[in-house]
Amino acid sequence: MRVLAASVLSLALAWPAWSSEAIDRLAIAMRLDEVVEILHDEGLRYGRTLDEEMLEGTGGQVFRTQVKAIYNTDRMTDTLRDVLAERLSAEDMAAATVFFGSELGQTILELENAARRAFAEPEIEELAFETAQEMDKTRTMYRLVDEYIRLNELVPRNVRGAISADYYFYLGLADGQGTPRDDEAVLSELIGNSHETEAETRKWLYGFLLFAYSPLTNAQMQGNLDFSATGAGQAVNDALFQGFDRLYDDISYELGRAVGVALGATDL
């Protein structure tokens, strides 16, 4: 442990001086604090759903406090910043900062964040899904969004992330209840249901992105796609998935454990 600590310290001391300032600029350009705040609000709503559906509304203030602590915005922001700093080269970070800080980049982020907030209303979310399903697939915007989803591997990456998060939730649930775990059986069942997960993921992605990007011109959407196809665009995409996977695996386990503990207390 002392050798490991010394190695970590030496790495920290050797970390380039530009990295802290560069990640600050990128985080500002990507409006990372705003994104995390939206995810925090989604998490609190999800906590209420867990209370209603799994605890029959018995979670009370204790469970609400636990959920709020789990979705701590400082912790969430730090995790994403750390992964971006770990995974991006200086060149990729600079290119990403330029793109996201540009007029087009800011417009895209504004639209994505606004759409994410709007999806808090089930009626709007459902309308977006219906609109996407009924849209003419030969329209240029549809084809550009379809290519964006394919290029960034959004379906398979989100499916893997969802399976992983569900897996960690059930591990936490078992640990919270103090019951024996059958990790292989749980994982096998989740993988066995991957076709359903994929269908739901496709529905959400097309509904969300077509809704979010609908105000863009075809040229603006093409610019978004062009950046995604660059080395920097792909590096940012990879880093974000790494960051969110790390974050939501931890969050899911902690939520599952909190639910498990609450269920155990209810049984007493």
Tens digits of per-residue pLDDT, 95-132? 999 999 999 999 999 999 999 999 999 999 999 999 99
Give the domain extent around 191: 14-267
User: Taking a C-beta distance cutoff of 8 angstroms, is the pair 226, 46 a contact?
Assistant: no
Length, in residues, of the chain: 268
Cβ-based neighbours of 62, under 8 Å, separated by 6 or more: 262
pLDDT at 229: 98
Cα–Cα distances in angstroms (integers) from residue 86 to residues 16, 19, 20, 108, 238, in the given order: 12, 10, 11, 25, 11
Q: Is the dihedral of CA 46, 242, 261, 188 positive or negative?
A: positive
pLDDT at 139 over 60: yes
Does a structural domain hold residue 231? yes
201-228 average pLDDT score: 98
pLDDT at 5: 42
pLDDT at 268 over 50: no
Does a structural domain hold residue 6? no
What is the pLDDT confidence band of residue 200, given thresholds at 50, 70 and 90? very high
Cβ-based neighbours of 170, under 8 Å, separated by 6 or more: 186, 256
**CA distance linking residue 197 with residue 121, whole number of Å:** 22
Estimate to the nearest angstrom the gap between the alpha carbon of 50 and the chain centroid: 19
Q: Give the SS3 label for residue 119.
A: coil
User: Taking a C-beta distance cutoff of 8 angstroms, is the pair 233, 145 a contact?
Assistant: no
pLDDT at 2: 39
CB environment 211-222: b (16+ within 10 A), e (fewer): bbbeebeeebbe
Does a structural domain hold residue 9? no
Does a structural domain hold residue 4? no
Does a structural domain hold residue 1? no
Domains identified in the chain, total number: 1
pLDDT at 166 over 90: yes
pLDDT at 13: 42
Does a structural domain hold residue 2? no
pLDDT at 11: 39
Q: Give the SS3 label for residue 155.
A: helix
pTM over 0.85: yes
Q: From the CA atom positions of the chain, what is the Rg in Å?
A: 20
pLDDT at 264: 80
Does a structural domain hold residue 249? yes
Q: What is the pLDDT of residues 224-250, one digit of tens each?
A: 999 999 999 999 999 999 999 999 999
67-73 average pLDDT score: 97
Does a structural domain hold residue 28? yes
